[in-house]
Chain A
Amino acid sequence: MKLDTSGLESFAPLSAPIDDLCPDLSAPPTFDLPRSADFDGFQKDAIQMVKPAKGTTTLAFIFKEGVMVAADSRASMGGYILGPGLYYVDSEGGRLKGTRFSVGSGSPYAYGVLDNGYRYDMSIEEAAELARRAIYHATFRDAASGGVASVYYVGPSGWKKLSGDDVGELHFRYYPVAPSPTEQEMSELSPA
């Protein structure tokens, strides 16, 4: 059987004329490699270094009015929004189309709240509140998520930021503390 070796052919001509006007045309495609004695080890270390950098919670979902996107402030987005569609894309080349996604170390907690409260017919305010709550609950349980819950709406006329609330403040808004009778009180320091 004759093997097809066309893929092994080099694109560079055997005698390359030195042409100052377009030097790249005749040169074979190349890219710089790092100067390292152990390139495989270097690649492995680089991958290991970014592995923990997925501590975050992000989510996005499609509903009647458009697309709602929310994230905590320790975030790096893993979802890409295309028109009325929603795609999940990851660094390993995976690509999925869907209506609800959550990405990051806090995503299981966000999914719990998102899946429970999701309806296609929601108003923008309801959808924003669902997104906000889902991020808040994820920041409560996940140590690697926290800070500010930002909520964005994407509609026919473009995107708009709806809110950016500190999750610490959201905690007391959702679970207000009933004032309990004080057992002991610190007295005010008199000015020295």
Chain B
Amino acid sequence: MSIFEYNGSALVAMVGKNCFAIASDRRLGVQLQTIATDFQRIFKIHDKLYIGLSGLATDVQTLYQRLAFRHKLYQLREERDMKPETFASLVSALLYEKRFGPYFCQPVLAGLGDDNVPFICTMDCLGAKELAKDFVVSGTASESLYGACESMYKPNMEPEELFETISQALLSSVDRDCLSGWGGHVFVV
């Protein structure tokens, strides 16, 4: 079992019409044993920016604390919130700093930029950014999630329909993965 599969996770983010949705599973395990069924993987950076972190749970929590700290400092200095694109570059830089001893996390970012244009991106554990126009996935259930999203997604969905789509994609994918599941958290902005 690889280090990325130690705790188990599933994350997905989708773009809709002037909105985005980001969803995660709620299981925290230690290999095959389930420890918690209410683990939080998606965190709010500011009202229009959410980050989900999959992979090793300890790195999920540490990385979130470091990113929240950096964003709060930015808010104090610039007196405004960070744009999603800027934040993505920040996350990427933070991850690459640890190039030879990385955080075992794969982040998924979702936010609304200027004029409420939705923005989503994902990264590998070393900070390689991958921007997408439709959806991004991460975690132990990522292969199932790719399949589910590819078949269920359509562009320009309204928030209610986007919520249904992302929920069904998440639930059907985690059902085929032992290491993720136990419900889901969905954020629609």
Contacts and interface: CB of A to CB of B under 8 A. Distances in A.
Interface class of chain B by DSSP: mixed
A189 B160 contact: yes
A148 to B, nearest CB: 14
Contacts of B160: 186-187, 189
Interface stretch (A21-29, A94-102, A135-143): A135-143
Interface in A142-192: 142-144, 146, 186-187, 189
A189 B163 CA distance: 12
Contact of A142 (B8, B34, B163): B34
Contacts of B32: 55, 105, 142-144
A23 to B, nearest CB: 50
Interface in B128-168: 160-161, 163
Nearest to B188: A186
A171 B161 CA distance: 29
A143 B178 contact: yes
A186 B34 CA distance: 31
B179 interface: yes
Contacts of A144: 32, 178
B184 interface: no
Contacts of A105: 32
A189 B29 contact: no
A143 B163 contact: no
B33 A143 contact: yes
Contacts of B33: 141-143
A182 to B, nearest CB: 15
Contacts of A143: 8, 29, 31-34, 178-179
B178 A141 contact: no
Interface in A102-132: 105
B28 to A, nearest CB: 11
A105 B8 CA distance: 17
Contacts of A142: 32-34
A55 B32 CA distance: 9
A146 B177 CA distance: 11
A186 B163 CA distance: 10
Closest 5 CB pairs of A and B: A143-B178, A143-B32, A144-B32, A141-B34, A189-B160
Interface of A: 55, 105, 140-144, 146, 186-187, 189
Given A142-B33, A143-B32, A189-B160, 4 more contacts: A143-B31, A186-B163, A187-B160, A189-B161
